[in-house]
């Protein structure tokens, strides 16, 4: 009898042990092993991106390396911070959008693209300005008073407003308040310069030099610099011809005189044969012809100014994310100013690939990357991973 009871106890203990092991292996162990596995895979993917210098591929929406490195049963999303998103949405009045598109051509910097999608938009038609617009550009707009509250609400959400306005006939106090401008009466001055190179206060200057000037060889094969027009062509896949007689290879540095008589140096930044050419200014003292309407000074950050006057005459300024620039004639340096001002204020965390809602048991791995050589960029890449089954 005792032997039978003993055998029964052993059987019951075996059954209990089996049940515990089944529960253990079907719940706790699986969960505990998934997380470290995903973290290790994420770190491995980021390390391979670094070793193969593929950080710019990711910014250009090329995820081939990630797909090759991770197991096929793992899904991923990618977030990047520290650089403008690769497609910036810009709203503008319908009557001005074609003009705005000529200003906001794609920018190529440090091997990746920053594109601008320009969309027709009427501020008066909406009670609030949609977050779908990263920025709005208003050209000689006159309805600031009735839209002031709407604009201020939009700015409070870390969005960007660019006002391209001549101000000779504009005594609108609401316009001046939004952009923090004060009227002036001054004599004409020859040139304007950047006030200071301080990206922590205003990144326009940094992105101005990083973006440089682009020439579309298909639609308008001319470089407009200091309001002069220079023909541009690519006689070979690796050289650019300026003015019909000077050939330079990619990377060549050359000089010309600025409107203030100074020697200004440029680099042939990039050549796309028969398509596009880019030139990069190299002097931090880059001069601008004075395109200011001569009747305002800025109480905010003075981006372009001439200190010979007291108070200084300003051609471009910022009041936080509200950017004012005087109306300008055709010239590529003015276009680059607008692009640089918008992009430099949009350095938040962007989702290149968004994770689906309700994703569970996902993990994230992050790493910092430094890009060059058009301008310094420090970026954080965050890779989010989860099992598909």
Q: Are residues 70 and 10 in the same domain?
A: yes
Q: Are residues 66 and 124 in the same domain?
A: no
What torsion, rounded to 10 degrees, do the Cα atoms 213, 217, 221, 225 define? 10
State pTM to two decimals: 0.88
Q: pLDDT value at position 313?
A: 82
Q: Give just the sign of the alpha carbon dihedral 153, 159, 165, 167.
A: positive
| pLDDT 10s digits, 306-323 | 877 777 888 999 999 999
Q: What is the average per-residue pLDDT within 211-240? A: 97
Q: pLDDT value at position 102?
A: 97
Q: Are residues 68 and 130 in the same domain?
A: no
When computed from its CA atoms, the radius of gyration of the chain, rounded to whole angstroms, is 28
User: What is the DSSP-derived secondary structure letter of residue 60?
Assistant: T
Q: Are residues 252 and 323 in the same domain?
A: yes
Please give the Cα distance from 134 to 85 (Å, whole number).
10
Task: Give the structural domain span for 176.
Answer: 87-343
Q: Are residues 111 and 61 in the same domain?
A: no
What kind and span of H or E run contains 113?
strand 112-120
Domain edge (last residue) among 343, 360, 379:
343
Number of domains in the chain: 2
Structure tokens at 150: 């709407």
Q: Are residues 278 and 378 in the same domain?
A: no
Q: Are residues 123 and 196 in the same domain?
A: yes
Q: Are residues 180 and 78 in the same domain?
A: no
What torsion, rounded to 10 degrees, do the Cα atoms 337, 342, 347, 352 define? -110
- How many other CB atoms sit within 10 Å of the CB of residue 349? 11
List b or e across 177-201, with b for residues whose CB sees 16 or more CB atoms inside 10 angstroms. Answer: bbbbbeebebeebebbbbbeeeeee
| pLDDT 10s digits, 48-100 | 999 999 999 999 999 999 999 999 999 999 999 999 999 999 999 989 999 99
Please give the Cα distance from 77 to 86 (Å, whole number).
16
Please give the Cα distance from 346 to 91 (Å, whole number).
15
Q: Which residue has the higher pLDDT, 25 or 368?
A: 368
Structure tokens at 389: 């089954």
Q: Are residues 225 and 119 in the same domain?
A: yes
Burial class (CB in 10 A: 0-12, 13-18, 19+), 25: exposed
Q: Are residues 290 and 259 in the same domain?
A: yes
CA angle 211, 212, 218 (to 5 degrees): 100
| pLDDT 10s digits, 151-189 | 999 999 999 999 999 875 556 889 999 999 987 766 667
Q: Are residues 143 and 203 in the same domain?
A: yes
Please check the confidence at residue 328 and state whether its pLDDT lies above 90: yes
Q: Are residues 179 and 285 in the same domain?
A: yes
Question: Residue 114: pLDDT band by 50, 70, 90 thresholds?
Answer: very high
| Cα within 13 Å of Cα(138), Cβ side | 22
Q: pLDDT value at position 171?
A: 66
Please give the Cα distance from 162 to 375 (Å, whole number).
23
Contact 78, 70 (CB under 8 A): no
């Amino acid at each position: 009898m005792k032997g039978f009871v003993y055998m029964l106890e052993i059987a019951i203990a075996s059954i209990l042990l089996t049940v515990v092991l089944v529960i253990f292996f079907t719940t706790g162990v699986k969960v505990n092993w998934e997380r470290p596995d995903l973290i290790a895979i994420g770190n491995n993917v980021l390390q391979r991106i670094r070793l193969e210098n593929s950080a710019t591929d990711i910014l250009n929406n090329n995820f081939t390396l990630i797909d090759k490195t991770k197991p096929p049963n793992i899904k991923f999303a990618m977030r990047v911070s520290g650089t403008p998103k690769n497609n910036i949405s810009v709203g503008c009045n319908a009557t001005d959008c074609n003009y705005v598109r000529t200003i906001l051509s794609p920018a190529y910097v440090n091997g990746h693209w920053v594109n601008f999608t320009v969309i027709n938009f009427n501020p008066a038609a909406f009670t609030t300005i949609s977050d779908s617009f990263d920025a709005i550009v208003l050209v000689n707009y006159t309805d600031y008073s009735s839209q002031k509250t709407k604009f201020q609400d939009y700015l409070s959400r870390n969005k960007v407003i660019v006002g391209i306005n001549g101000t000779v006939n504009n005594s609108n106090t609401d316009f001046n308040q939004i952009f923090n401008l004060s009227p002036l009466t001054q004599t004409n001055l020859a040139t304007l310069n950047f006030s200071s190179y301080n990206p922590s206060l205003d990144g326009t200057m940094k992105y101005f030099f990083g973006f440089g000037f682009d020439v579309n060889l298909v639609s308008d094969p001319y470089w407009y610099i200091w309001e002069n027009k220079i023909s541009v062509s690519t006689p070979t896949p690796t050289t650019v011809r300026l003015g019909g007689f000077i050939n330079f290879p990619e990377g060549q540095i050359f000089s010309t005189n600025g409107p203030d008589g100074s020697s200004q140096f440029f680099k042939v930044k990039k050549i796309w044969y028969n398509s596009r050419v880019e030139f990069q200014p190299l002097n931090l003292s880059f001069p601008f012809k004075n395109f200011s309407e001569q009747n305002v000074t800025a109480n905010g950050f003075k981006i372009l100014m001439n200190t010979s006057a007291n108070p200084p005459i300003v051609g471009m300024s910022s009041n936080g994310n509200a950017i004012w620039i005087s109306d300008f004639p055709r010239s590529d340096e003015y276009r680059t100013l607008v692009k640089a001002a918008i992009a430099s204020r949009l350095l938040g965390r962007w989702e290149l690939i968004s994770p689906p809602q309700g994703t569970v048991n996902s993990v994230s791995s992050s790493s910092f990357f430094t890009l060059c050589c058009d301008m310094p960029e420090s970026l954080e890449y965050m890779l989010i991973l989860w099992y598909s089954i």
